[in-house]
Chains A and B, each alone.
Chain A
């Protein structure tokens, strides 16, 4: 349902990602691991279709629905939590269920600024789910959370994925625990030679 054949990605002549092939079918879960600055968010933006300035090809149906949990929550700060969910198409009667699923039954009328980072991220997850995606992209879902909160997030995500067997997933993280709990397929984005570790990252799925 989705295929990306990346030859190279550079920012203003500075190479960031090397050759890489990604193929996804419904229900497939894939994790990409790698240290900070290696190009994980860059790759997800390409997968999401937000960044088209790369050499290679990206193929998917135009109607493929992608839910993207960005590294920052990116909620509209001037709209309440409920309104943020409504904006991606959630019917009013679904909002309570969606917020319940991410463990936040009482925040519908709060503004994003009134939430902690962990809560805001869960609301952003609820929004991604409200969109009824075929493909879910998670960018560092547990970064900057304390140990227990990060664990709770992993448990929450495990449940979300179990309830949606058809949902395909691409997760990027620097934390191998995310990959272990959430996916069956893990790849490490390795900095390719020569030295400067940020400059070339290349992987291929087998």
Chain B
């Protein structure tokens, strides 16, 4: 653990060093030095703009993520459980998977206007097929023997959900979450760039118009830090807790 952190910091420092050297050599405002980016960061932070726009983006990411995860899970559930549902929904899924995010965003803005609902819906629709495909696999891999056990002992629905299904689907939900956050925040930036007046994407748009590379880097790096923080402070501890039974069981188990 501490070794991983050390390597991480080492790579980061190295990258910073290379960047610093390159920027100094070039002396071009289109590649600002790390200090310049830091200054932009401090400037945006003290004006309150950074926090405002980061929060706007984070809010969209979380709302879209939660909705997509819920709907995608339900869809994946239906498709994994019923061959009929799978036959009907699969073409739709393939269509959505192959539809470029940009097309969906533009269409929804055109149809619904440049409103928040259109923005979130565009992100949700982009993410749902992803979640559904992952969860369909998860649902198909549910253990039928444990299912029989739960029937014999008359597990009520609540217990089936929390004690039988969720633990088995956990790795799949985790995969959907990891891939989801990364994908969603990138789409949210596009959505903001095209039709919102706040958020990191909107700020990037402004900075792009005046070629303010320092601001572009300041905003995107801050959001990367936030996504990384979610991974470290939320997802990894959750995963460690949920996988406790596997760690404890290693080596001593006499059967699978």
Residues of chain B lying within 8 A (CB to CB) of residue A77: 245, 249
Interface size on A, residues (CB 8 A): 29
Chain B residue at smallest Cβ distance from A116: B254
Given A76-B164, A116-B254: A66 and B152 interface contact (C-beta under 8 Å): yes
Chain A residue at smallest Cβ distance from B148: A50
Chain B CB count within 10 A is highest, among A73, A76, A88, A117, for: A76
Contact assessment for A131 and B153 in the assembled complex, using a CB-CB cutoff below 8 Å? yes
Q: How far is the CA of A79 from the CA of B29 in the complex (A)?
A: 58
Q: How many A-B residue pairs have CB under 8 A?
A: 65
Contact assessment for B249 and A111 in the assembled complex, using a CB-CB cutoff below 8 Å? yes
Q: How far is the CA of A124 from the CA of B155 in the complex (A)?
A: 16
Contact assessment for B153 and A78 in the assembled complex, using a CB-CB cutoff below 8 Å? no
Q: How far is the CA of A79 from the CA of B145 in the complex (A)?
A: 16
Contact assessment for B153 and A76 in the assembled complex, using a CB-CB cutoff below 8 Å? no
Instruction: State whether the Cβ of B146 lies closer than 8 Å to any Cβ in chain A.
Output: yes
Instruction: State whether the Cβ of A87 lies closer than 8 Å to any Cβ in chain B.
Output: yes
Residues of chain B lying within 8 A (CB to CB) of residue A87: 153, 155, 159, 163
Given A72-B145, A74-B146, A120-B255: A113 and B153 interface contact (C-beta under 8 Å): no
Contact assessment for B148 and A117 in the assembled complex, using a CB-CB cutoff below 8 Å? no
Q: How far is the CA of A9 from the CA of B245 in the complex (A)?
A: 39
Given A87-B159, A113-B248, A120-B255: A76 and B167 interface contact (C-beta under 8 Å): yes
Given A87-B155, A112-B249, A113-B249: A74 and B149 interface contact (C-beta under 8 Å): yes
Binding site for B on A (CB under 8 A): 45, 48, 50, 66-68, 70, 72-74, 76-79, 83, 87-89, 110-117, 120, 127, 131
9 additional A-B residue pairs with CB within 8 Å, beyond A50-B152, A117-B255: A67-B152, A70-B145, A70-B148, A74-B146, A77-B249, A111-B245, A112-B253, A114-B249, A114-B253
Please list 15 pairs of residues, one from A and one from B, whose beta carbons are closer than 8 Å in the complex, sorted by A's number. A70-B149, A74-B148, A76-B163, A77-B249, A79-B245, A87-B159, A111-B248, A112-B253, A113-B246, A113-B248, A113-B250, A114-B252, A115-B254, A116-B255, A117-B254
